[in-house]
Structure 1
């Protein structure tokens, strides 16, 4: 048996192989964790969830009107603009690169007033705002990670699709949300849990594979990965076989010598 074959079948080989596999998995997890902490994801989402008319039936024959400061509104509507800091870090006042003009939304019809501003959680800071025609400006200030801000806005005009006019947050993209903010369905857990579960599954599969490989290996390899008691039994059997082979050769040699002396 060569030195290479002896090493492949040794406990040191399997320990080294398994240790290397574990080191690779742990190393990749460490790199991922470092990048996760050092470069936190930054995202700011928005959506116009509600945009409904306050006067639903103009031909009902009932004289109903909506007015503010004595001025009637021709097509009053109530819209809700929802914002969310979806990143893993807070947005600070200094992140608003254009001051109070950094974040703005165009509702496309005149804004009469902001009837209410709600934040989630309720202990989070409430940002200021101002109105300029159809544009709602969000003033600079602290917006906590995962904080949600809801503006109820009174409009006067036909239903129009709102748009983001200014998006000037440092290293934080502002995007319209593809789903309803605050009502996100479960999608399999957080990235951290997924990563830990994937690493654990990889280790389990690797362990099973190594065990299967050991079961299919030659006898001298199998012996090295089985319990010591079994290995000892195999060694004893090998020794007995060697003794029997030696005894057989001695007997054969004695017969040859006896036959020679008889002739």
Structure 2
């Protein structure tokens, strides 16, 4: 037969176990924060902000030319590239010094404008690679954290979307349907196996102490 032990708030074993559990949680949080600080996340977001047809049904008799050549179906598209990470992306992170290439699935003819937000520092150089089936090229550059680049281009024909560019060195590249300017959650990045093992050990030890606490606090032999 078992009987309930004394009040939990007067039980010394309870408070000792709680102190150990708190120490384990604080230790796990310290390990996580240290690893995150030593390995800041690098992330680049890109997307096709919009595409617009220049000549509609009511534009009979109007002609749009590029370098003296009339376009049959002129369109304007805007490609957005944003540093969404927690530190700057530098030119040395471009693989072999090659530019980022964005394939819009159409015949890109030229760059109309390049803008940066916030408008501090030099404007990166963007151009078109390819004679008949052009792609948007962004040359290696310094991209401060939270800075966004908007590249306006002209096409002869509609675009079918945007293909992922060649990866950068140690930079996670993700397509964004709508450019994301907010701070990414620190919990979004996957944890390494080492961190998972440390956290698992902490919480397993805490679980064992809770079992001992329940046995000691709630029950006692008559």
1:40 shift after superposition: 1.6
**In 2, distance between residues paired with 1:108 and 1:14?**
65
Taking a change above 3 Å as real, the CA distance of residues 10 and 165 of structure 1, as seen in their structure-2 partners, is closer
Secondary structure (helix, strand or coil) at the match of 1:16 reads: helix
| Greater gyration radius | 1
- Structural mapping, 1:118-137, within 5 Å: 118-133=115-130, 134-137=134-137
1:17 shift after superposition: 2.0
Which structure has the higher relative contact order (CA within 8 Å, separation 6+)?
2
1:113 shift after superposition: 1.9
Compute the TM-score of the two structures, normalised by the length of structure 2: 0.71
Secondary structure (helix, strand or coil) at the match of 1:140 reads: coil
Aligned residue number for residue 145 of structure 2: 145
Aligned residue number for residue 94 of structure 1: 92
Once the two structures are superposed, residues 196-216 of structure 1 have per-residue CA deviations (whole angstroms, 9 ceiling, x without a partner) of xxxxxxxxxxxxx9xxx8997
Aligned residue number for residue 84 of structure 1: 82
**In 1, distance between residues paired with 2:123 and 2:145?**
13
Unaligned residue ranges in structure 1 (runs of 5+): 193-208, 219-263
Aligned residue number for residue 171 of structure 2: 172
Equivalent residues of 1:44, 1:175 under 8 A apart: yes
Secondary structure (helix, strand or coil) at the match of 1:31 reads: helix
1:191 shift after superposition: 4.0
**In 2, distance between residues paired with 1:96 and 1:183?**
22
Aligned residue number for residue 236 of structure 1: none
**In 2, distance between residues paired with 1:15 and 1:121?**
52
Once the two structures are superposed, residues 214-241 of structure 1 have per-residue CA deviations (whole angstroms, 9 ceiling, x without a partner) of 99788xxxxxxxxxxxxxxxxxxxxxxx
Taking a change above 3 Å as real, the CA distance of residues 182 and 45 of structure 1, as seen in their structure-2 partners, is closer
Aligned residue number for residue 64 of structure 1: 62
Aligned residue number for residue 36 of structure 1: 36
Equivalent residues of 2:89, 2:143 under 8 A apart: yes
Taking a change above 3 Å as real, the CA distance of residues 109 and 9 of structure 1, as seen in their structure-2 partners, is closer
Aligned residues: 189
- CA RMSD in angstroms comes to 3.4
**In 2, distance between residues paired with 1:84 and 1:17?**
48
Unaligned residue ranges in structure 2 (runs of 5+): 188-209
**In 2, distance between residues paired with 1:64 and 1:17?**
81
Say whether residues 1:23 and 2:20 are aligned partners: no
Secondary structure (helix, strand or coil) at the match of 1:163 reads: coil
Aligned residue number for residue 112 of structure 1: 109
Equivalent residues of 1:124, 1:144 under 8 A apart: no
When you count helix as a share of all residues, which structure comes out higher? 1
